[in-house]
Homo-oligomer: A and B are copies of this chain.
């Protein structure tokens, strides 16, 4: 079983890049999250561990992690992109509550399958897809929870 490091290292090598201490720290932090995160979550978490990596470096590293297939952008919330690590996790889609901002994950094989069918029809080769359903979760529908902010896929 390959570790995330192995994969990232292989990707970097293939591009003539090095796995530096900063990149390693970012990678490690990304995989310490069990939730979606944005750039500031990353930055803060790294600092909390008494490490220092500049924002510029994080901005530069995120595309590398995406290209190596370790993370993906999942949706936008408060107008900022949010990410999740995908290595070792099944693919899933999201429901985003417009009331409380909560994110529910779901997976439906039948939907995935139909998507593949549609792609085949069009001769389209799918690399990835993103399905986001915006609406109101059970709790918000029942009216207890106050509004927060808009969420966008």
Chain A residues engaging chain B, CB cutoff 8 angstroms: 73, 95, 97-98, 104, 106, 108, 110-111, 114-115, 117-119, 122-138, 141, 152-153
Report the copy number of this chain in the oligomer. 2
Q: In the complex the two chains form, is B124's CB within 8 Å of A138's CB? A: yes
Q: In the complex the two chains form, is B128's CB within 8 Å of A134's CB? A: yes
Other A-B pairs, 7, CB within 8 Å; known A119-B133, A129-B134:
A108-B118, A111-B118, A122-B137, A125-B141, A126-B134, A127-B136, A128-B135
Q: Contacts A104-B124, A124-B104 known; A133 to B129 CB distance under 8 Å? A: yes
Q: How many whole Å from A95's CB to the nearest CB in chain B?
A: 5
Q: Contacts A111-B111, A114-B111, A122-B95 known; A134 to B127 CB distance under 8 Å? A: yes
Which residue of B128, B129, B135 contacts A119 across the interface (Cβ within 8 Å)? B135
Q: Contacts A73-B152, A114-B111 known; A125 to B136 CB distance under 8 Å? A: yes
Which residue of B117, B130, B134 contacts A131 across the interface (Cβ within 8 Å)? B130
Q: Contacts A114-B111, A129-B132, A132-B130 known; A123 to B137 CB distance under 8 Å? A: yes
Q: How many whole Å from A27's CB to the nearest CB in chain B?
A: 22
Which residue of B104, B122, B132 contacts A122 across the interface (Cβ within 8 Å)? B104
Cα of A6 to Cα of B124 in the assembled complex, Å: 39
